[in-house]
Structure 1
Amino acid sequence: MTTQHPEHDRPIIPMPALTLPALRQAVAAVAPSRLPEMFEDMQKAFVQAGEEGSVVPIQMLYRHWGVVVAIERNPGTARRLHAAERAVASEDPEGQARAIREAGDIVRAAHREVADG
Structure 2
Amino acid sequence: MNAEVGPGGELIPRPELTPDALRAALAVVAPGRLDEMQATKDEAFAKAVEWQSLSPVQSWVLIWAKEIEIARRRDLSARYAQAEHDLEHDDPVIAREALRELRAITEEALRAVRT
TM-score by length of 2: 0.89
User: How far off its partner does 1:79 sit?
Assistant: 2.0
Indicate yes or no: 2:60 matched with 1:61: yes
Residue of structure 1 in register with 2:4 after alignment: none
User: How far off its partner does 1:69 sit?
Assistant: 0.8
Indicate yes or no: 2:33 matched with 1:47: no
Distance 1:114 1:31 in 2: 17
Where in structure 2 are the equivalents of 1:19-98 lying within 5 Å?
19-98=18-97
> Which gives a bigger RCO, structure 1 or 2 (Cα 8 Å, sep 6+)?
1
User: How far off its partner does 1:45 sit?
Assistant: 0.3
Runs (5+) with no aligned partner, structure 1:
1-7
User: How far off its partner does 1:108 sit?
Assistant: 0.5
Residue of structure 2 in register with 1:112 after alignment: 111
Distance 2:68 2:21 in 1: 11
Distance 1:44 1:72 in 2: 23
Identity of aligned residues (%): 36
RMSD, aligned α-carbons = 1.2
Distance 1:37 1:75 in 2: 22
Corresponding residue pairs, total: 109
User: How far off its partner does 1:86 sit?
Assistant: 2.0
Residue of structure 1 in register with 2:3 after alignment: none
Runs (5+) with no aligned partner, structure 2:
1-6
Secondary structure of residue in 2 paired with 1:54:
coil
Distance 1:40 1:87 in 2: 29
TM-score by length of 1: 0.88
